[in-house]
Amino acid sequence: MIQIALLLLVAIAAAQAESDCLQAVMKIKNMNYRECAAQHGDELAEASKNPVCKLLNPLSWYDIDSCDHIRANFFRCVAQTNGYLAADGTFDVEGFKANVLGHKCDDDINFDKASQNCVQLTDYLNPITYGRCVATHLQSASEQRCREMQRSGAKQRCCGMNQGKVAEQRCCGPC
């Protein structure tokens, strides 16, 4: 019985850690970009004229191939400003985890798996498409773990995107 309780505690802690990671990923749109926007305003204005280049609108389609190259200098500036531009000019995942996500995803194996799938989207260093991709993978992994816990009848603490409020609930229920 004690072993089951300890296993459940570990599962709860893992769910909370993933939730912290997912919340950090969801906040990347708040990273420091103002100086870069001022420097590269023409690029941003040009890209915003294209309906498939509405980067921050979650309800619109964003076409990476049509849009990222237009904002390339802006994304490079943001990457350099926020500490995830590698010396060879590529996307530095470890720098991103440290400087943008504040180490909140360091121990999350699901983040590392997601990142491997998503880093291919970073030819132009776009943190938003990378973040959306990682968030989708993290949510999918979390939902899978929820289904597994639900089948076992376990309860967990869930911290969703509900202003950080935590509620005791059945797994996968509304936060």
The domains of the chain, with CATH numbers, are: 2-170 (1.10.238)
User: Tokens for 118?
Assistant: 């998503």
User: What is the reported pLDDT for 57?
Assistant: 67
Kindly report the number of other CB atoms within 10 A of residue 10's CB atom. Answer: 10
| Minimum mean pLDDT range among 1-15, 67-81, 88-102, 114-128 | 1-15
Mean pLDDT of 92-107: 95
11 close to 4: Cβ distance less than 8 angstroms: no
- Whole-prediction pTM value? 0.70
The percentage of residues in the chain with a pLDDT greater than 90, rounded to a whole number, is: 42
158 close to 169: Cβ distance less than 8 angstroms: yes
User: What is the reported pLDDT for 139?
Assistant: 86
- What average pLDDT does the chain have? 77
Angle at 40 between CA 39 and CA 41, to 5 degrees: 100
User: What is the reported pLDDT for 137?
Assistant: 87
Please report how many Cα atoms fall inside a 13 Å half-sphere around the Cα of residue 88, on the Cβ side: 4
Residue 63: its H or E element: none
Rg (CA), the chain: 18
User: Tokens for 128?
Assistant: 């938003």
User: What is the reported pLDDT for 2?
Assistant: 36
Q: Comparing 62 with 92, which gets the higher pLDDT?
A: 92
| Minimum mean pLDDT range among 12-21, 67-76, 78-87 | 12-21
3-state secondary structure of 155: strand
User: Tokens for 56?
Assistant: 């921050």
CA distance 142 to 88: 34
User: What is the reported pLDDT for 169?
Assistant: 35
- Quickly state the pLDDT bin for 11 (edges 50, 70, 90): very low
56 close to 26: Cβ distance less than 8 angstroms: no
- Quickly state the pLDDT bin for 149 (edges 50, 70, 90): low
CA distance 29 to 8: 34
CA distance 10 to 41: 47
